Amino acid sequence: MTTRENFKDAAGEGRVDLKVAWYGEQIGTLHYNNGEMTWSREDTQAALLFRFPDEDDMPAFLKNLQPEGWLRGALGSPSQISYLRSGIRYLSNITIAEDESFSKNRDPDQLTSRLKDHTDGGVWFSGSYLGPRADSINNDIEKEVAERAKFHGTPRMSGMQMKMPVALDSEGQIHHAMGGSFTHILKFGGTEEWRASELLEWMGLQLAGEAGLDVPAHALVNVGESAPPALLVERFDVPQSADDQQRYLIQDMCTAARIKQEKSDINGLYKFSLSMEKVAKLFKEKVHDDNDPDALQKDLENLYRKAVSSWAIRDGDMHLKNISFLKVQNPGEDDFTSTRLSPTYDTLNTSIFHEFGDDEAHHGALTINGKKNKLKVSDFVKFGTESCGLSKDRSLDIFQDIIEKTANRAVEIGANIPNSSAEGCPKCDYMVCRAVTDIVDRAKECTGEMARKYEREMTFSADVSEWDNVYPEKKDKNHRRYRKIGQDPLVSKF
C-alpha cells in the first residue's frame, strides 16, 4: 500500500483489521466485518495508558476522530470505518493501518524548527510558504487542499474548518506533511463572511494570551493575493525537539468523559452535552503532575480564566472538543507523568457570524450556572468559588483583569489590522472591527454590576472609550445594528 493511495470507501468489503498504535507501540485492533465493528485491546504498556473502558465497540477516542465539516465533505461523507481506514496518521502520533509494520517502522512526528524563529513582529510568518496559493494563475486553494486530503498518507484532523497538515523545516519552509514530520497546522479562511475566520482566530489567540492562558506559537501566512490570511499554529502534542524523548497525548473533554458521537447526531450536539461545572469536576478527577503538587489548583484557575476569556471575546464555540488535556509520559515510566490543561486553541469571536437580533449570537457553548446567555459577573464568581476553588476576591481579580486587558488589546488590534490582501479579503477589516466592537460592548456590560455589587471600578484605555464613540453606528443608546455582510454601507469604508 503506497502512501499516495487515494481515499477508499470500505463499504461492502468483507473483514478489515486495523492496527492502532501510539508512538509505534500497538494498543489494539479494530475489527470490521460486513458492518459489524469490534475492538480488542493489546496487552501492552501503551494500551494500559489509554485505559479503555470494558467495551467491545470503538473506543471514544477513535470514534471522535471521525471527520467533521469541511473535511467530511472533501472526503465524501465517509463512514467511520472507511474514514479510519483511509488515513494512517493522526494527532499525538497515533497511527492506524492494516499493516502494523507501518507504525513500527516510522519516526514519530516532532518539531524540527520553532515558529517563533520565523515570525516577523509576532504577527507574520517570515519563512517560505510552498503550499497552495490563490493568485492570478490559480485561485482555488480549497480544491487543491481537498485533493491533498484524499491522499492516504495525509495526517487526519477533526474539526469544522479547512486545514492542512504541514511541516516547518529547519530552513523556515512550510510544505505539505506527507512522508515526514507533521509539525504545524495551517488553517485557511472559508467563503463569504468566513473568509476572515483565521484573522479572527489569530486575534482570539492574542487575546487568550492577554488573559494569562498558555497559547501555542502562531502566525499569519500570506497564501496569495486573492486569498485572506491563513493561520499557522505550532503543534504542542508532539516532542518539541529531536532531544525530547517524552510522549504526548492530547485528550479532549469528549474523550475524557467517554462521550461518543453517535450516527444520529449529525449536528454534533454531543460536544455541548456538559456544563462548565462538570468540566471542572473532570479536572478534579484527572489532573495531576508528578513534578507540581499544585497542578490541580493551577489548572482549575486556568479553566476559570478560559471561561472568562471565552465570554469576553464572545466565543460561542468553546465546546468539549475545544477544551483538552495534554498528557505526558516520560521514558521508562509506567504511567503519565502529568495530565494538564492543554494550551488554548480554536478560539475566536463567533457572534459576528450571526445577523443582528439572532439570540444565538450571544450564547456560549457550555452552560455556566445553568445558563448559556445573559451571564452576569455573579455567575462567574459562583463558578470560580464553587467549582474552581477560588476565593471570591481572587475570582473578581481575575475577571476584572481579563475583561480590561481583552478590551484594551482588542482595540489595539482593531487600529492596526494585519490584513495582507485587500483583494483577497476586502471585508476582513470590517469583520475585525465588528468583533472589536462586540468585545468592547461586552466589557461595558459588566461595569455596572462590578461597581454596584462589588464596589470595583473597571479601567480601560482611552482608545477603548474612543472606539466606543466612533465605530460602528448605533441603533440607539445601547445597541449596535449589524446588517448582513455585503449589505452594510460601512463596508465601503475599508
| Pairing relationship of beta strands 119-120 and 124-125 according to DSSP bridges | antiparallel
How far is 59 from 17, CA to CA, in rounded Å? Answer: 15
| Alpha carbon of residue 48 to chain centroid | 27
Question: Which range scores top for mean pLDDT: 127-136, 248-257, 481-490?
Answer: 248-257
pTM of the entire structure? 0.89
Per-residue confidence band for 106, with pLDDT thresholds at 50, 70 and 90:
confident
- pLDDT at residue 311 above 70? yes
pLDDT at 13: 56
Q: Give which of 18, 61, 53, 65 is closest to 37, Cα–Cα.
A: 18
All cell numbers assigned to 181? 514530520
How far is 328 from 337, CA to CA, in rounded Å? Answer: 6
Q: Is residue 49 within 8 Å of residue 329, measured between CB atoms? A: yes
Q: Is residue 186 within 8 Å of residue 141, measured between CB atoms? A: no
Per-residue confidence band for 320, with pLDDT thresholds at 50, 70 and 90:
very high
pLDDT at 57: 63
Paired with 173 in beta bridges are 128
Sign of the C-alpha dihedral, residues 288, 293, 295, 300?
A: positive
For the stretch 129-149, pLDDT in tens is: 999 888 644 567 888 888 888
How far is 234 from 39, CA to CA, in rounded Å? Answer: 33
DSSP single-letter state for residue 368:
B
- pLDDT at residue 336 above 50? yes
Paired with 31 in beta bridges are 17, 38
For the stretch 34-84, pLDDT in tens is: 778 788 888 888 888 887 765 556 677 777 777 676 776 777 766 767 777
